[in-house]
């Protein structure tokens, strides 16, 4: 995230064009985004679950597009999309939850529209995006996590060392960087070990994220006191 005066420019460094397509369309035509969701919600419920979901997923896999991806993100298992490395094929099964109604989704679209007012969304590699930041800017990085499945969010080829080099370059130019990354899981019993260059970050904060999102689905009905997750927030300032 790059903040400059009263204009907010947001750059997503995953270079995943269909995510960017959703946000660009939301800014340009929020009504169209609500129609995307409404049409697929009807298609989803026209068939018994999971047939409706699988039909939408099959269409996306045949011809990837933002409209189908949008609904898949709201209806897949755990809300976590898995992509096959060789061709980007989505393999996530249907979620056990009911997707929110089109009316509720439309309300969220209006909130997102207001909150991203003045923002621009670009389909860039993170190194190119971070290279545009100038002294006094703030860059927020939320990369694929090291201790999670690489198949999530199509993160198989992500390089943490390359991100660290980009962060160092930003810090050298006077750009502030905040990085969210693995911290602890299993309620603190597992510390996610990361190769963080010494002296790169000035502060480290652990943020309680509550109970593991995926475990809530896998262990439905349990209290999950043993599955508390803490993310690590690293700051260069």
| pLDDT at residue 50, rounded to an integer | 95
Percentage of residues of the chain with pLDDT beyond 70: 79
Question: How large is the average pLDDT for residues 191-211?
Answer: 85
CA angle 202, 182, 90 (to 5 degrees): 135
Residue 222 clears pLDDT 60, i.e. is over it? no
- The domain made up of 10-115 has a fold known as Adenine-specific Methyltransferase; domain 2 (1.10.1020)
Question: How large is the average pLDDT for residues 129-150?
Answer: 87
| pLDDT at residue 3, rounded to an integer | 35
Residue 158 clears pLDDT 60, i.e. is over it? yes
Q: What is the mean pLDDT of the chain?
A: 84
Model confidence pLDDT, tens digit, residues 92-127: 999 988 999 999 999 999 999 999 999 999 988 899
Model confidence pLDDT, tens digit, residues 54-107: 999 999 999 999 999 999 999 998 888 888 878 889 999 999 889 999 999 999
Question: How large is the average pLDDT for residues 136-157?
Answer: 74
- Confidence grade of residue 25 (pLDDT, cut at 50, 70, 90): very high
Q: What is the pTM of this model?
A: 0.77
Domain spans of the chain, in order of start: 10-115, 134-235
CB 198 within 8 A of CB 186: no
What's the CA gap between 89 and 95, in Å, rounded? 17
| pLDDT at residue 80, rounded to an integer | 84
- Return the higher-pLDDT residue of 91 and 156: 91
What number of other Cβ atoms are within 10 A of residue 183's Cβ? 24
């Amino acid at each position: 995230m790059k903040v400059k005066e009263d204009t907010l420019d947001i750059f997503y460094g995953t270079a995943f064009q269909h995510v960017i397509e959703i946000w660009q369309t939301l800014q340009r035509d929020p009504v169209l985004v609500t129609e995307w969701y409404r049409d697929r919600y009807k298609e989803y419920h026209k068939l018994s679950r999971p047939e409706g979901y699988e039909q939408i997923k099959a269409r996306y896999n045949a011809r990837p597009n933002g409209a189908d991806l949008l609904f898949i993100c709201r209806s897949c298992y755990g809300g976590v999309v898995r992509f096959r490395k060789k061709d980007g094929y989505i393999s996530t099964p249907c979620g056990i939850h009911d997707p929110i109604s089109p009316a509720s989704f439309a309300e969220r679209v209006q909130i997102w529209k207001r909150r991203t007012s003045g923002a621009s969304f670009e389909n860039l590699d993170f190194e190119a995006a971070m290279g545009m930041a100038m002294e006094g800017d703030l860059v927020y990085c939320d990369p694929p996590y090291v201790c999670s499945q690489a198949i999530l969010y199509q993160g198989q080829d992500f390089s943490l060392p390359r991100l660290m080099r980009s962060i160092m370059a930003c810090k050298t130019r006077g750009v502030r960087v905040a990085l969210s990354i693995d911290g602890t899981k299993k309620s603190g019993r597992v510390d996610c070990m990361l190769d963080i260059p010494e002296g790169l970050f000035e502060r480290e904060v652990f943020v309680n994220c509550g109970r593991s999102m995926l475990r809530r689905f896998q262990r439905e009905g349990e209290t999950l006191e043993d599955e508390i997750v803490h993310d690590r927030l690293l700051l260069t300032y």
